[in-house]
Structure 1
Amino acid sequence: MNKLSLWLAATALATSPAMAVSPPVKPAPQKPGAPRDERKYIDPKNMDTNVRPGDDFYQYANGAWLKTNKIPASKTSWGSFNELREKSVEAMRSLLEEAARNPKKSRLQQMVGDFYASGMDSLTIEKRGWDPLKPDFARVDKLKNMTDVLNELAYQRKQSNGMLFSFFVGQDRKNVNKYLPQFGQGGTTLPDRDYYLKNDPRSTKIRDAYRDHLTKMLTLVGDPQPAQNADKVLQLETALAQAQMARVEMRDPYKTYNKLTVKDFDKITPHINWVDQMNRFGVKGQDTVLVANLRFYKTVDSLLVATPINDLKTYMRWNLLKGAAPYLSSPFVKQNFAFTRVLTGQKEQTPRWQRMSGLIDGTLGDLLGQLYVQQYFKPEAKQRMMVLVDNLEASFKEHINGLEWMSADTKKKALNKLVSFKRKIGYPDKWKNYDGVVVKRTDFFGNVEAAGQWSYNYMINRLGKPVDRTEWGMTPPTVNAYYSPVNNEIAFPAAILQFPFFDANADDAVNYGGIGAVIGHEMTHGFDDSGRQYDADGTLRDWWTAEDASKFKERAGKVEAQFFGYKVLDTLAVNGKLTLGENLADLGGLAIAYDAFKKTNQGKGNTAIDGFTPDQRFFLSWAQVWRINVLPEQQAQLILTDPHSPGQYRCNGPLSNIDAWYTAFNVKPGDKLYKKPDDRIRVW
């Protein structure tokens, strides 16, 4: 699943003093009789017109907004996505509070309303302290050998508490109509393996803070040797981190595709009988599994043998405590947040009502989503989106047909994949009903557990059944979009279909520069460095000629190099390999959206609105989508973990490769973002 957040930036070329430099672009006078917005979809008050567009278009388009929109104390960033998410969570709060106080509830309202009420009942939560966790601790206390440990790992996974490694059910990438048991790497707490393995000042500081956090959390549950046991946990997690693949490696769908029989899996891990372990997981009749990282499981096997049973028990207690802490009394919540502050720089805890709204969206999302759609989603938005998707698809077809570097045979297959895209807009055609989940108004922790158990059982029950391609990977209140390679589908939840991405009353330039580029972005994911390896049915297979694949990699390599050139914080730079898929999607999406926009009546004309031409409004709309302020601590973490580039580069990076942007803003040699025409990268 590809989360939406783009960041492309161009390399500043060396300039000669003799080169002409373009002046700042200010709004042109409004023509008499030209259409005007009551709402300023492109508001000059948000801009910094003292900056030349060709030097830093992101700052030119957003400079004033960035200065006046400081990051709230309870946030780690603030930008267009955050504004919409705030609006979405306020909407969820309204729905949940109404459901909680309504005495004549439907089943749907009862479940989400009582869940919300239980989570807002801080008095009861404080009174219980960490009592809800004590039965699980008692189970761990009784473990005596490795068989006991494996039993407990399975029991906790069935409660949705994953430990040591990742187990889930998903589609077989080479047989996408079938679900398979799958095993991934896991078992660590810090956001990336590098935090365990690197010795730079930033990594060392976070490791030290984590050790302190572990000690304090273990102290809260009465551990007799919290500091020593914190070291034991860190030692075990470091060993797991050493065996993990790096994030860049994990992006390769072939490297993480290791299909083998359960018996062969047993041979890799001689001390773990996977037939027995799958039985413990509740998996029956499956003789084949997918394993992402075989080396990781060899390490898991060795650690289970080499680690003293008491250290394994400490590790398991920590994982239970870590997973439960947000739902326990305030000492646990506060200590959890204290460590979050170190990782992200966030200054204040997120308000309880926001945390509860997000929790219910994540656990009973289809129930809350139904209420959200009924109240906030307009049918005309879905209709308008269908037209936009049609137009973007038509533009993409033209782009593929016009590719000089691709052979006719590969073009034919690429076009077949494009027209095979499945579209999901707004909300699912059918909803999960969460049968069997009992929500009690007086048992917050029990409600969290019940939702986790239902989620696990729902996942396991997929085995042996046809793949349900109507299912969504996001809920309607989610401000995001995604492309699924195994389903060859693009999805746009209801909450993203709002300004600045989309507004039914906005001019086409605004909508195509916003949601149009987002649509193009998700479409292009089907043809990025990873997505291109899946065919029209979603099957992982090579459908490219060797020559075409080589030419694609050559162009993608230029995008990779461009982004490696962007510095973010002190010694940190954008990882061009980690962000390659998103950067390709940004570049392709913007180019495709622009050409689709040029087929609209507004795009064919040159009538200014608020002093900006149609083309200028298109590119300004693109820029304002990616405006964001980010705390430095959070930015440092994102550089390691996020496959998206920072907002500034998502804006500037693609633009420096788009000829029409140069024309629209009179960008010339000497401007910092200027690239010679032959150096501008064109992939799709």
Structure 2
Amino acid sequence: MTNTNSLLPWGTAALLALAGCASTQTAPTATAPPAASTETVASIKGVGIDPKDTDPSVSPCEDFFQFSGGNWLKNNPIPGYASSWGPRNLLNDRTQAMLRQILEEAAANTAAPKGTNLQKVGDFYASGMDSVALEKAGLTYLQPELKRIAAIKDLKSLHATLARQQMLGTGAFFRAGVGPDRKNSTVYAVNLNQGGLGMPDRDYYLKDDARSTTIRTAYITYMTNTFRLMGDSEAAAKQKAQAVLALEKRLAQASKTRVELRDPQANYNKMSVADFQRQYPNVGLPVLLTANGLGAAKEVIVGQPAFFQELSAVMKATPLADAKTYLTWQLVSSVPSALPKAYSDEAFRFAQVQSGARQQPVRWKRMLSATDATLGEAFGQLYVDKAFSPEAKQKALDMVTNIRASMAEHIQTNTWMSDATKQEALKKLNALRVKIGYPDVWKDYSALSISRESYLQNVLAARQWNYAQNVKKYGGPIDRNEWGMTPPTINAYYNPPMNEIVFPAGYLQPPFFDPNADDAVNYGAIGGVIGHEITHGFDDQGRQYDSQGNLRDWWTPADAAEFTKRAAVVGRQYDAFSPLDSVYVNGKLTMGENLADFAGLTVVYGALQKQLDKQYGAGKRPVIDGFTPEQRFFLSWAQLRRQNIRPQALRQQILTDPHSPGQYRTIGPLMNMPQFYEAFGCQEGQKMVRSESERAKIW
């Protein structure tokens, strides 16, 4: 998952007290708030927006990204260990400080009862921090897996070893797992999807532009140096690297693009296991299913049939020696932090070329992330006890209620949608499940054995446990208590087959959410995220799922055509954004996130207006730090998307990330909102104002 709120596809600072003292500070804006729209009351000092972060030398109506955070951007350069920097990173640093304390206390507690979550969390982290033991162990704990690969002697034994690799989560050849059947969301299905690539995107294998060539060269170097660390000569290591690259290039050529992967109907192809075996006989699916506890499955959902057609040909044509080299690479490159330092250093050098980061994150940060990813809910229980109050949860739930009501009103008053489609949309909205903070039912880690003997052993054991947990779902009832993120995660998501929005406790902290801030700040920050996630259910992907999470067309043809026409306007707007010379945002790749930003912000603005009228009376508004609530709402939206980013990371984001860069997430929706123009007194002809004929409007 990316480090931004997302659609999940089938993905602590002390609180400041609000002071009641009067303030004579004037707004550092180029345009005074319009007197016609509000009756202002006494100006006070607020929480959540720091006027010193703004750049008053820039008009909010010309470049709101710079106006809202220009001084913040100037005063917050990117640290050497990061590829980008924004408020989320600052919150992450504060959260990590608390999490580190929890982990170090757990690691120091060697008397924790065996089998308890406290023992497992402490031992996992302690084993990961024991760099002396890692150096001493070398590849010792990986040898059993390496020997399994080395023992492959024919296609049949290759299939058996591939089944093992799937269980270990190495990413070899393709991805397989159990999830809700997207056309019958009351049952689980086995899903098979393209995979097997060591670089972030298929295009890096296929394009010959300077950026792709540089990354490809760095990848070959990474592989060559890693094979040398494993004992190969320079010549043998280079030969192996080229063999892996050639195999992965064939997989890349058969892989769908990221834009093509956004079409849920095209990526749903149900067939019997027998048909799969007839069409793709060399993949060895029956062997994999039987070996991994899914022998009862009679059907599978194939994401990309053309990929598996090519994969079957690759597995038959590739010399066994090259296939073994590829599996070895996939295994070793999946666990660099669990091997001696030289291995993780090589992995970081390759990551540097992609992201531009100058320093590797210190080990405790990497091990904190690994513990969260591996034992997230055991770890998360310890975190929630310290960081998340019932009052904060209730306030967030109240905001969700208000924003959902605003979305219902937008659906009901929609001018281009038929009554039949509106009724289905309202049905879906009413069925939406909301999860805030942490799971109602925590994961049971009792079957997972963790010790201080070997970090690598712990990592592999955890992967097998996780795979077994996933497989165990098959044939059982849908688990609607399950979470796709851990409690400390600073993120959120919408899950179409479950029709649910999920907000971990880590997200519900300043500056995203502050119980002591005024409503305008909270609605612009976490409210914007809530609106974003709710409207993911109605974006170009999410709208294809019904109220029960089934992939079913519930739109009239005319309404679907009108939606597509309106969404295309958004796509064209983002296609025109260019953050670097000759680099443009991909409006099709980012369509879902852009639509969620557009609709979400409009819906939340409506919810805020009702909240303000309820609190202050119709038309009456306070001025806080010199800003009206409407201005603070848009400033709060913008401050969360402030971002300094290295050019290398920006190029990679545009190629691989369905989210637009922060500056365009800030200004893109606002350029289409008359409410924004009114708040800052913007006029036709200014850069932040689109003419009425150019504006995009969905909801």
Could you say which TM-score interval applies, normalised by the shorter chain? over 0.9
Alignment of 1:121-270 (within 5 A): 121-224=130-233, 225-270=236-281
Choose which of 415, 419, 436 in structure 2 pairs with 1:404. 415
CA drift at 1:278: 1.3
**Counterpart secondary structure, 2:436:** strand
**Counterpart secondary structure, 2:197:** coil
Alpha-carbon distance change, 299 to 611 in structure 1, aligned in 2, over 3 angstroms:
same
Would you say the 8 A contact 1:3–1:481 is kept in 2?
no
Which of 433-442 and 260-269 deviates more? 433-442
Counterpart check, 1:670 vs 2:685: yes
1:12 corresponds to: none
The aligned amino acid for 1:622 is W
Counterpart check, 1:70 vs 2:77: yes
Would you say the 8 A contact 2:634–2:676 is kept in 1?
yes
Would you say the 8 A contact 2:533–2:600 is kept in 1?
yes
**Counterpart secondary structure, 2:178:** strand
Which of 122-131 and 599-608 deviates more? 599-608
Distance in 2 of aligned mates of 1:342 and 1:123: 28
Which of 672-681 and 228-237 deviates more? 672-681
CA drift at 1:94: 1.0
Distance in 2 of aligned mates of 1:88 and 1:474: 16
CA drift at 1:445: 1.0
Would you say the 8 A contact 1:154–1:277 is kept in 2?
yes
Please give the per-residue CA displacement for 1:16-69, whole angstroms capped at 9, x wherever unaligned. Answer: xxxxxx9824799998853323x4x21111010111111110110000000110
Alpha-carbon distance change, 677 to 27 in structure 1, aligned in 2, over 3 angstroms:
closer
Distance in 2 of aligned mates of 1:273 and 1:676: 58
**Counterpart secondary structure, 1:523:** helix
**Counterpart secondary structure, 1:607:** strand
Please give the per-residue CA displacement for 1:97-124, whole angstroms capped at 9, x wherever unaligned. Answer: 1111124535121110111111111111
State how many pairs are aligned. Answer: 667
User: Structure 2 length normalisation: TM-score?
Assistant: 0.93
Would you say the 8 A contact 2:520–2:632 is kept in 1?
yes
Would you say the 8 A contact 1:325–1:336 is kept in 2?
yes
Distance in 2 of aligned mates of 1:324 and 1:468: 30
**Counterpart secondary structure, 1:542:** coil
Alignment of 1:558-569 (within 5 A): 558-569=569-580
Would you say the 8 A contact 2:160–2:287 is kept in 1?
no
CA drift at 1:672: 1.3
Would you say the 8 A contact 1:160–1:455 is kept in 2?
no
1:10 corresponds to: none
**% of aligned pairs identical?**
47
Counterpart check, 1:446 vs 2:457: yes
**Counterpart secondary structure, 1:640:** helix
CA drift at 1:275: 2.3
Distance in 2 of aligned mates of 1:528 and 1:431: 31
Would you say the 8 A contact 2:392–2:515 is kept in 1?
yes
2:428 corresponds to: 417
User: Structure 1 length normalisation: TM-score?
Assistant: 0.95
Distance in 2 of aligned mates of 1:45 and 1:139: 61
Counterpart check, 1:680 vs 2:695: yes
Distance in 2 of aligned mates of 1:262 and 1:674: 55
Distance in 1 of aligned mates of 2:657 and 2:137: 37
1:24 corresponds to: 30
**Counterpart secondary structure, 2:68:** helix
Would you say the 8 A contact 1:159–1:452 is kept in 2?
yes
**Counterpart secondary structure, 1:180:** strand
**Counterpart secondary structure, 1:184:** strand
Choose which of 84, 93, 105 in structure 1 pairs with 2:100. 93
The aligned amino acid for 2:527 is G
Cα RMSD (Å): 1.8
Counterpart check, 1:112 vs 2:121: yes
2:632 corresponds to: 617
CA drift at 1:570: 1.9
**Counterpart secondary structure, 1:34:** strand
Distance in 2 of aligned mates of 1:328 and 1:23: 54
1:363 corresponds to: 374
**Counterpart secondary structure, 1:554:** helix
Counterpart check, 1:539 vs 2:550: yes
CA drift at 1:607: 1.6
2:13 corresponds to: none
CA drift at 1:528: 0.1
The aligned amino acid for 2:219 is Y
1:15 corresponds to: none
Distance in 2 of aligned mates of 1:109 and 1:516: 35
The aligned amino acid for 1:132 is Y
Choose which of 50, 54, 59 in structure 2 pairs with 1:47. 54
Which of 24-33 and 509-518 deviates more? 24-33
The aligned amino acid for 2:30 is P
CA drift at 1:428: 0.2
Distance in 2 of aligned mates of 1:587 and 1:105: 50
Distance in 1 of aligned mates of 2:536 and 2:283: 38
The aligned amino acid for 1:190 is M
CA drift at 1:87: 2.0
Distance in 2 of aligned mates of 1:4 and 1:90: 21
The aligned amino acid for 1:618 is F
Choose which of 373, 384, 393 in structure 1 pairs with 2:404. 393
Alpha-carbon distance change, 396 to 309 in structure 1, aligned in 2, over 3 angstroms:
same
CA drift at 1:2: 8.5
Distance in 2 of aligned mates of 1:140 and 1:212: 23
Which sections of structure 2, spanning at least 5 residues, go unmatched? Answer: 7-27
Distance in 1 of aligned mates of 2:578 and 2:214: 21
Alpha-carbon distance change, 171 to 27 in structure 1, aligned in 2, over 3 angstroms:
same
Please give the per-residue CA displacement for 1:620-672, whole angstroms capped at 9, x wherever unaligned. Answer: 11110110111111111110110000000000000011111001111112211
The aligned amino acid for 1:353 is W
CA drift at 1:276: 2.9
Distance in 2 of aligned mates of 1:568 and 1:260: 44
**Counterpart secondary structure, 1:441:** coil
CA drift at 1:74: 0.9
Alignment of 1:479-628 (within 5 A): 479-601=490-612, 604=618, 605-628=620-643
2:12 corresponds to: none
Would you say the 8 A contact 1:513–1:620 is kept in 2?
yes
Counterpart check, 1:82 vs 2:89: yes
